[in-house]
Amino acid sequence: MTLNLDSRKQQLIQRIVQIKEEKHLLILEQYMTDIEQENIDFEAIFKPAKKTITVEELIEEQSYTGIDKAKMDRLIDEMDVQEPLEDFLN
């Protein structure tokens, strides 16, 4: 084992020692059991981040549909805001 690996293990142990919620410890225990039994699909969990993304790709990934202008206008009218816009921006 490398020094870096040993150091990382010690840091992880310290983080585990600081766990205060039993439910968090149970989740960690189950996760460790799954790892030991090799039941974890690491590629499904840890996907590499994209270096770049276009607005179009982001819209598709998040299934963004935009706003319903008529509904938004109706909500604005229902709010009946009397204060000037500048008051909200300051």
Residue 68 and residue 71: Cα distance in Å, rounded?
5
Query: Which pTM does this prediction carry?
Result: 0.38
For the cut 70, the answer to whether the pLDDT of residue 1 exceeds it is no
In contact, 29 and 23? CB cutoff 8 Å: no
Q: Which sequence spans correspond to the domains of the chain? A: 3-89
DSSP string across 2-63: -HHHHHHHHHHHHHHHT---HHHHHHHHHHHHHHHTT---HHHH-PPPPS---HHHHHHHTT
pLDDT in tens, 15-74: 999 999 999 999 999 888 888 777 667 677 777 788 899 999 999 989 998 899 999 999
Closest CA to 61 of 74, 40, 47, 75: 47
